[in-house]
Every structure is written in C-alpha cells, then in structure tokens.
C-alpha cells in the first residue's frame, strides 16, 4: 500500500489569514484513493511516532467506505485566534456567519484574554463563549481566571473551558477545588495519551474533544467516544477542506451531538483546496473533492514534496503499516 500512497500524493502549501499556532503557511499532504481523498498533515514539529494516527486516518479516509451519518448539517463555532483589537476581532468573527458560539484562544496573558473576551462579547452579545487554553495554566491560574470571569459575566455565557491545565491530575484538582459551574473539555489529555482507551477521565473532564486525524480516523474516534461515554465535540487541527470534511463525517456519525463543533477553521486559511461554506452557522455533510486548479496553484516545491514523502515512509515504518495490516484495509 505504501507505493500507492506515495504515487497518489499531492503536497499543498496553503497561506493562512492570521498567525495561528505561530505559523502563516499550512502544508498538507493529500492522498487520493479508491474511496476518495485523505489528508496527512501532522504539524511539522511532530515526529514520526506522533504522526502515525494521522497517517492511519488519511488512509482510512482514502480507502474505506464512509460511515453512516445521523445528521446532514453540523453546527460550528467561530474560532478566534490569540489576536488583539476590536477591529481585528470583528473581522475574524465576520468569517463565521450565523455561528452562535465563539471559541477563543486564551492562556498566555490574563489581561489580553479578558480584553479579547470583552470585544467578542460586545460584537456578538448573544453568542456563548468557550475558551481553549491548550494546558497553559496551572490549577491556581485556572481558578484565578474562572473566578474573575464569573465576577464579570453571567454564568450562562461560558459554555466550557478546553484543556485549562495540562495533566489529568491537575484537571481533577481543578474540578475538586472550583466552586463555580464550569465545564471542562479534554483535548491533549486524550489525543496525546499513549492509549486513549486506557485513561481514567472520571472527575477530570466533562466533555471529550475529538480530532479525527490525531486520534487515528473516524472508526477509532467513535470507539473512543463510546468507551468513555461523555458528550463530544469534534474539532479540526487547521486542516485543509479535505481534513475538515473528514472531521465533519465524524461529527455526523456520532449518535449524539450536543455542542457546536470546531470545524469552521478553514476560514483561517487565505486559500483552500475546496469550498466548505458556512450558512446560518452550519456546514453541510458531504464528500470533499479538492480542486485541481487549487492544487496546482498551491502545489509545494519538489523539495517539500520529497520531505513529506520521506515523512510518510518513516511514519509507515514505525507503526502505521502494522495498524493497517491489523485493520485488514486494502487499496
């Protein structure tokens, strides 16, 4: 199968509209297979071991039948990067027409975080707020923020905080100490776990954050959700439309979906390989086929394509091949 993957590989370099995770260009490797397209796009700093589930997800998307779905549209949240200034924030929020939830990056500077929240709430007063901290706070800092937030705003405004602290132990300590009705979503504690099935999430988090590529595809993500039995939110990892489209498939395949999903992140790209329009706060479920014109226009250099081919070979060798064999998947 490795030869087919490499022979059907297109590496694309997409510019972003804002600085997101410190990057302004998103490189992705797209694979065309018998069931459509898959995306392999672990961030550049990830080694081949952390990249294994990303490759498994891409192969599943390209070679396996699509899962049955429970819904035809997926509600999405607006995603607000760690930017400052009312005008800039209003511009970003305008990219998400009809979104009733705003996910705000936070955790690096308390004063800037609260200014960002204030601007977003002023611009969209009816929208709920969720915060993504990426584990940057310790327990004391998380409590300081939570109490300050509830001093300033009605408790109904804050939907949840995603990964306020890094470890499960810290999250349990936070939930035990916090006297406010805040919900905690777990992201890194799930997708960076050695075995997402073999972790005890009790009294640590209230909501699962599912990202299809880092978790190894739709089938495995659904199994993780069923195993833990918690409400789930599906989010992307700044994927191209191909990767986002597969995340939308996961969200559509969940038996229950109580929250808007972080699957509108294509709006953070200045260019993409396909169009996934947001209409009235939702994105339609469907197959995503990248535009040949866009793939030619944003094709990466020969050197970068070679780099991604080598990365796939390494990732295949350290674990992806074994998983694909166990799954019995064929091209």
Q: Angle, nearest 10°, between helix axes 139-152 and 168-177? A: 40
Which letter, b or e, does each residue of 267-287 get, where b requires 16 or more Cβ atoms within 10 Å of its Cβ?
Answer: bbbebbbbebebeebbbebee
Q: Are 18 and 92 in contact (CB under 8 A)?
A: yes
Q: Among candidates 238, 231, 258, 262, which has minimal Cα distance to 248?
A: 262
Q: Is 105 designated active site?
A: yes
**Rounded CA separation 271/157 (Å):** 33
**Catalytic, out of 128, 175, 192, 211:** 211
**Catalytic, out of 105, 108, 284, 314:** 105
- The alpha carbon torsion through 238, 214, 135, 78 (nearest 10 deg) reads 30
- The alpha carbon torsion through 154, 160, 165, 168 (nearest 10 deg) reads 130
Phi/psi of residue 174, each to 5°? -65, -45
* 127 alpha carbon, distance to own chain's centre: 20
Q: Which residues are catalytic?
A: 105, 211
């Amino acid at each position: 199968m490795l030869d087919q993957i490499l022979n059907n590989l297109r590496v694309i370099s997409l510019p972003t509209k804002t600085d997101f995770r410190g990057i302004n260009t998103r490189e992705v490797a797209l694979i065309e297979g018998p069931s459509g397209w898959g995306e392999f796009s672990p961030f550049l700093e990830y080694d081949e071991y952390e990249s294994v589930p990303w490759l498994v997800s891409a192969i599943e998307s390209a070679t396996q039948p699509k899962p049955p779905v429970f819904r035809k549209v997926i509600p999405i949240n607006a995603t607000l990067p760690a930017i400052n200034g009312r005008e800039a924030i209003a511009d970003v929020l305008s990219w998400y027409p009809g979104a009733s939830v705003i996910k705000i990056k936070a955790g690096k500077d308390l004063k800037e975080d609260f200014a960002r929240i204030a601007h977003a709430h002023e611009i969209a007063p009816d929208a709920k707020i969720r915060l993504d901290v990426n584990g940057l706070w310790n327990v004391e800092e998380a409590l300081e923020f939570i109490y300050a937030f509830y001093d300033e705003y009605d408790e109904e405004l804050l939907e949840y905080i995603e990964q306020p602290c890094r470890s499960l132990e810290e999250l349990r300590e936070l939930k035990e100490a916090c006297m406010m009705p805040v919900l905690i979503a777990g992201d890194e504690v799930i997708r960076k776990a050695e075995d997402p099935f073999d972790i005890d999430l009790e009294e640590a988090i209230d909501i699962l954050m599912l990202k299809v590529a880092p978790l190894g595809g739709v089938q495995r993500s659904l199994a993780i959700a069923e195993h833990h039995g918690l409400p789930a939110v599906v989010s992307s990892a700044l994927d191209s439309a191909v990767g986002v489209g597969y995340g939308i498939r996961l969200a559509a395949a969940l038996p229950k979906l109580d929250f808007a999903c972080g699957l509108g992140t294509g709006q953070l790209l200045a260019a993409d390989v396909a169009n996934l329009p947001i209409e009235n706060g939702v994105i339609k479920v469907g197959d995503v086929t990248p535009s040949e014109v866009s793939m030619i226009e944003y094709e990466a250099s020969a050197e970068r394509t070679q780099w991604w081919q080598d990365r796939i070979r390494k990732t295949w060798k350290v674990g992806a091949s074994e998983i694909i064999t166990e799954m019995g998947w064929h091209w």
